[in-house]
Amino acid sequence: MTRLFGTDGVRGVAGRDLTAAFALELSSAAARVLPGERREGGRPRAVVGRDPRASGEFLEAAVVAGLAGAGVDVVRLGVLPTPAVAYLTGEMDADFGVMLSASHNPAPDNGIKFFGRGGHKLPDAVEDEIESALKAPAEGAVGAAVGRVTDSADSAERYIRHVVGTMPYRLDGLRIVVDCAKGAAATVAPEALRRAGADVVAIHDDPDGLNINEGCGSTHIEELRAAVRRHGADAGIAHDGDADRCLAVAADGSVVDGDQILGILAVELHEAGRLAEDTLVVTVMSNLGLKLAMREAGVTVVETPVGDRYVLEAMREGGFSLGGEQSGHVVITNHATTGDGLLTGLHLLGAMSRRGLALDELAKVMTRLPQVLINVRGVDKFAAESSAALAEAVAAAETELGDTGRVLIRPSGTEPMVRVMVEAAAEAHAQEVAERLAGVVRADLAIE
């Protein structure tokens, strides 16, 4: 049976998959699971935020109705980044938080994400409880038990003060271009950078509900590269629609990806004695160059499956303070409970300010090895782990590549497809090995 919750909440096309009726029922079910023990003498409390998608307006109304109808007091936060909602869930002592966003997806999509007490993502078991509660009949609250609904007038201000307050170094003298992705970052990112001391040029800061992520942001970084060069900026910061990601652009227009950002921040924290257990948490998709660089710097690397939730789980279990993904999801647990694009950007720029170095110089903390990815479609992905021929081919490739390369064979989580990823010191070598392994996958895992 297909699980309702994906790796990042419940997502779908708003109005078709995510209807108002479904949002109401899902939030009502969550209200029966998430509060835990009732507050002494009162009702549980939830905070609700959204990105600027047009569909967020009707979905917010439905979620609020479902929560209040189930006896939960609701504070509407308005349009804010996902990490702001996570932060305010804890800062406002709410029992749980709800964010309406589909992150980097196009405007027709939307999603419903829940945060537990303290602003933490929910474990699978709790999401399964909500799904079970969704199927069970329930009575609504009546009389004095009905939840009350209020609006927060200072939610953006609280979040801006928080992220700027974590900065150990100011950004005076730096000109920064920030791409707000026509999303939630537009409400807070330019102001946060200005308060940190930067001279700020904001682009794509005009969300209209229908243009979120459209040709801009962290998934379309070409516009930011051009703007950095046009304005003679020291660096550029790119967010996605809900601002939980951060990618960067150096003054020369070169892109600084999540792996490089993680490497820069890891060295900063390590040298300051603030990198917990001297450990960085990454996924299996992080470039081998990052791992080699961290070994050289004396930083241990812990790998997890793909997905920021797995990074977070490993960080909580090990008590680690820094982790993330190549895509720009970076988690700094000293200041946040989830990936926070604004926080990441500020601390990356803070490293520039402290060291007095250009971003492209800082990015040399690691050398990215050529990485070739081939998606082999129309194969039996479930047979990948048991294929003797594929195992033999992978072993031979790993021996051939040695310490300066690696192979990753990963079945897709959503399609009949196997992903073949190869890294090597030379791109031509990586391409040749990847194509060879893809041929084995096609031949041995073909669907008859």
Known binding residue 109? Answer is no
User: Dihedral angle at the C-alpha atoms of 216, 222, 224, 225, nearest 10 degrees?
Assistant: 180
Three-state secondary structure call for residue 74: strand
Record the tokens describing residue 79, joined without a space: 């349009």
Distance CA 206, CA 225 (A): 19
Record the tokens describing residue 396, joined without a space: 């031979």
Distance CA 142, CA 260 (A): 54
Q: Which of 237, 235, 300, 299 is nearest to 272 (CA)?
A: 299
pLDDT of amino acid 42: 80
pLDDT of amino acid 403: 84
Known binding residue 199? Answer is no
pLDDT of amino acid 237: 98
pTM of the model: 0.91
Residue 9 carries which side chain, given as an amino acid letter? G
The series of mean pLDDT values per 10 residues for the chain, 448 residues long, is 80 96 97 75 91 98 98 98 98 97 95 96 93 90 95 98 96 98 97 98 98 96 97 98 97 97 97 96 94 96 89 94 95 96 98 97 95 92 90 94 90 82 93 95 87
pLDDT of amino acid 301: 98
Question: What distance, in Å, lies between the first and last C-alpha atoms of the chain?
Answer: 24
Distance CA 33, CA 193 (A): 38
pLDDT of amino acid 412: 80
Contacts by residues 121-124 (CB-CB < 8 Å, ≥ 24 positions apart): 121/309, 121/312, 121/337, 121/338, 122/34, 124/5
Known binding residue 242? Answer is yes
Kindly list the catalytic residues. Answer: 103
pLDDT of amino acid 3: 80
Residue ranges of domains in the chain, CATH in brackets: 10-153 (3.40.120.10), 158-365 (3.40.120.10), 371-444 (3.30.310.50)
For residue 148, give every residue at least 6 positions away whose Cβ sits within 8 Å of its Cβ, in sequence order, or none: 43, 68, 73, 74
Known binding residue 103? Answer is yes
Query: Which H or E run includes 203?
Result: strand 199-203
Record the tokens describing residue 370, joined without a space: 């050529």
For residue 385, CA distances in Å to 40, 277, 399, 406, 412 come to 52, 33, 19, 17, 13
DSSP symbol at 185 = G
Distance CA 152, CA 159 (A): 12
